[in-house]
Amino acid sequence: MNVAAQSLWLIPALPLAAAGIGALTPRGGRMLAAGSAITALFASLVLSCLALNTALANPAVHAVHNFAWFDLGAGAVRLGWLLDPLTAFMCVMVTLVGLLIFIFSLGYMKEDANFTRFFCFLSLFAAAMLGLLVANSLLLLFICWELVGLASYLLIGFWFHKPSAAAAAKKAFITTRIGDLGFLLGILWLYDARGTLLFFDGGAGILEHASLAALSGQTVCCGLAAATAIGLLVFCGAIGKSGQFPLHVWLPDAMEGPTPVSALIHAATMVAAGVFLIARVYPLMEADKLLTAVPVHALTVVAFIGAITALLGAVIAVGQNDIKRILAFSTVSQLGYMMLALGVGSWVAAIFHLLTHAFFKALLFLGAGSVIHAAHHEQDIRRLGGLRGSMKTTFATFAIGMMALAGVPFLFSGFWSKEAILHAAHALDGSPALRSFGVVGQLPLAIGLAGVVLTAFYMTRLVAETFFGSARTAEAGDVHENSAVMTVPLVLLAVGSVALGFLGTPAFPWLQARLLGEAEVHGHSLLEGGGLMALSIVLVALGLGAGWALYGRRPRAAAAAIDPLAARAPGVVAALADRLGFDELYAATLGRLSDLLAMLAAGLDRWVWGGAVNVLAGLGRALGLISQGTDESVINASFDDAGAGLRGTGQVYSRAQTGDAHGYLRVTAIAFVIIVLIIVLGGIR
């Protein structure tokens, strides 16, 4: 197992090498760039499977390989790799889903002039994400985290000639950066408190008992335990990266990137990073859970943020018309569910949902990509319609993805992972703090159940508007199924979206047991907690039925026809279409504030600092001129002036001897005398 941990670096290194190759490949080398990217990721997938196999042999062990990066004073900055079931499952998921997305991109980006650059960025993205997964050090994780941010910036803004894409890239980068600031503060605090950032280090790591006991025993301001404060700061990073309220605004805009990028960002990598981070540092997040005298527990905050996000995303998704934006808000909502699961104490449920969501959301995005590609880049569902007949494979796979997301019972993976989350929110086994709240502690569950109805509703609407009825525009009328390079990944993802659920049913919670490090699987009856399951099935049926009643039964007649929901409640739908005005709110408050600060800073810069710098610069320039002057006019002038007239080397010699060289020697001698005077006089004193 240690050998496996030692060679774990290969998993991110291979895509990184592919990114290097892609960066050096000229534009014409399309096959080289794409081939190396896909080969490298495939190799990483094989390695990840081997790592998973190794990790499952001893699921309770955290195999680490630590090494000193460089010495700093008396200590050393140490980094390392970590192999446990969590890392291994995530690696397999990221490489598998990533590989399918890479292959899909071959078809989707076929006509793009910057094909090689695209694959270079994709590989960089995958490398950063895999590096984040195998890191055994918060520092290494943070480095990869920022690389993920950089790569997402490059990919979202891939069509940077579109102003909206450039703006979206900037927005994603800056918004996540706000969260990263808190994350960085947390890291610094942790390093200051513990002197190491390794997760596991033979008892000395930050996630091990000694460190957790020290951090939860230490009280900082407002009665918070140090562990709570650090946990909340780290959670800030996750809020940004995973698009949680209130920093969710970047995620829908990120749809400006090419669709495979949306699939990669919203399914397998970037947004999953935040959930993974919290799951990785879970011992730290729950270190304060048995303390009773603290004002707030870290996980309680996580639970409520997650619940708010889950509901908010689902509500806004109802009012969107762009196929990718609907999926984007559904991602926001599903990430909220994952955070909710983390917050109510069941990180395995969160990771289970993360894995199933990765498959069906990648499927949905690629399906949307397939539609968009076929319909000549038409993304508005009102202007599509009737694609069921002409795009059979896309329709069938998209429908599977939709049913998985909506949580249609029993057959689809999304049902089982969502059930796991709802059950955890109901039982509250891992969160004594929430349980002590009584009814308020059940609030996340109630919000989660409300989200279930909305999810089923907006997904039904999406499918009904896009695939049913008749084509409403010329673009939608003239569609053909895409080539196999795009449909085969869809089919494979659809298989995963169904099959993955059976790894974590209550009767056979194999995945959960392995994540928790248990060698044996203790199943429950499927009917245990059957009341809640029945309730959620009813809610799903309600959502599906309402959606079908509004949009499916009488399909939209024309692209401009008014939405049946908008006809009933125009104000609400307009607000939802406006995304509840979060962007405007931020622009009016934070944007204005930062403009003000920027103006203030600019003023300070220009008048105060600029003045000081100018004075210094003037001083420096004057000194420089004086120095140059002495060098060149006093000492060199005669030489330079005469230089043009010099004939032959002999004259140079004589001129140098009689002219400036004397000056040089004189300076040397005078300096000697002055130094002797200083030192001898100093010695006498």
Partner 1 sequence: MNPDYALLAQALLPEIALVVGALLVLGLDLAIFRRQEPAARYRLVMNFGAMAVTVALIFACSTGFSGPVFGDVLFFDTLALITRQGVLMLTLFTFGIACDARRLRHPAEYVAVILFAATGLILMAAAQQLLLAFLALELASISLYVLAGFDKSRPESAEAALKYFLIGGMAAAFLLFGFSLLYGLTGSLILPQIGMMLMPQGPSPLLLIALVMVLVAFGFKTAAAPFHLWAPDAYQGAPTPSAALIASASKLAGLVFFYRLLWPGLGMSAGDAARLPFTIGWVPVVALLSGASLLLGNIAALAQTNIRRLLAYSAIAHAGAMLLGVIAAGASGPAPLFYYAFTYAIAAIGAFGVIALVENAGRCENLADLAGLHRRSPLLAGCLLVFILSLAGIPPLAGFFGKFVIFAAALKLNGLGGPAGWLAVAAILLSAVALYYYLLILKQALVVRTDGPIRRITVPPAATATLLTAAGLLVLFGLFPSVLLGLFQ
Q: Applying CB under 8 A, which of residues 141, 434, 656, 658 lies at the interface with partner 1? A: 656
668 makes contact with partner 1 (CB under 8 A): yes
Q: Between residues 437 and 672, which has the closer beta carbon with respect to partner 1?
A: 672
Distances (CA, A) of 429 to 346, 351, 512, 534, 535: 8, 17, 15, 21, 20
For the record, the structure tokens of 602 come out as: 């600019």
75 makes contact with partner 1 (CB under 8 A): no
657 makes contact with partner 1 (CB under 8 A): yes
- Neighbour count for residue 651 (Cβ, 10 Å): 12
Residues in the chain: 685
DSSP 267: I
| Residue 80 backbone phi and psi in degrees, to 5 | -175, 170
Per the CB < 8 A criterion, the answer to whether 73 and 224 are in contact is: no
Task: Name the segment binding partner 1 (CB under 8 A); options: 263-271, 495-503, 573-581, 661-669.
Answer: 661-669
598 makes contact with partner 1 (CB under 8 A): no
Please identify which residue in the block is written with the tokens 């909305």.
Answer: 454
d(CA 657, CA 639): 10
Q: Applying CB under 8 A, which of residues 474, 557, 597, 680 lies at the interface with partner 1? A: 680
Among 292, 294, 298, 311, which Cα is nearest to 342's?
298
Per the CB < 8 A criterion, the answer to whether 149 and 176 are in contact is: yes
Q: What mask, x for binding partner 1 by CB under 8 A, covers residues 419 to 458? A: ----------------------------------------
d(CA 313, CA 284): 28
Give least dist CB 80 to partner 1, A: 16
DSSP secondary structure string for all residues of 430-481: T-HHHHHTTTGGGHHHHHHHHHHHHHHHHHHHHHHHHHSS---SHHHHS--P
Q: Applying CB under 8 A, which of residues 295, 438, 645, 682 lies at the interface with partner 1? A: 682
Could you tell me whether strands 63-72 and 75-83 are parallel, antiparallel, or unpaired per DSSP bridges?
antiparallel
Q: Between residues 26 and 438, which has the closer beta carbon with respect to partner 1?
A: 26
665 makes contact with partner 1 (CB under 8 A): yes
571 makes contact with partner 1 (CB under 8 A): no
Give me the sign of the Cα torsion angle 336, 342, 348, 349: negative
653 makes contact with partner 1 (CB under 8 A): yes
Amino acid identity, position 228? T
d(CA 572, CA 563): 12
560 makes contact with partner 1 (CB under 8 A): no
Task: Name the segment binding partner 1 (CB under 8 A); options: 67-75, 273-281, 377-385, 563-571.
Answer: 67-75
Amino acid identity, position 511? L
Task: Name the segment binding partner 1 (CB under 8 A); options: 223-231, 401-409, 546-554, 644-652.
Answer: 644-652
Q: What mask, x for binding partner 1 by CB under 8 A, covers residues 603 to 642? A: -----------------xx-xxx-xx--x---x---x---
Q: Between residues 545 and 659, which has the closer beta carbon with respect to partner 1?
A: 659
Give least dist CB 70 to partner 1, A: 5
68 makes contact with partner 1 (CB under 8 A): yes
Task: Name the segment binding partner 1 (CB under 8 A); options: 138-146, 161-169, 199-207, 667-675.
Answer: 667-675
Q: Between residues 174 and 677, which has the closer beta carbon with respect to partner 1?
A: 677
Q: Between residues 502 and 639, which has the closer beta carbon with respect to partner 1?
A: 639
Per the CB < 8 A criterion, the answer to whether 161 and 206 are in contact is: no
Total chain residues near partner 1 (CB under 8 A): 37
The three-class DSSP label of residue 188 is helix
Q: Between residues 597 and 616, which has the closer beta carbon with respect to partner 1?
A: 616
Q: Binding residues for partner 1, per CB under 8 A? A: 68, 70-71, 73, 620-621, 623-625, 627-628, 631, 635, 639, 643, 646, 649, 652-653, 656-657, 660-661, 664-665, 667-669, 671-672, 675-676, 678-680, 682-683
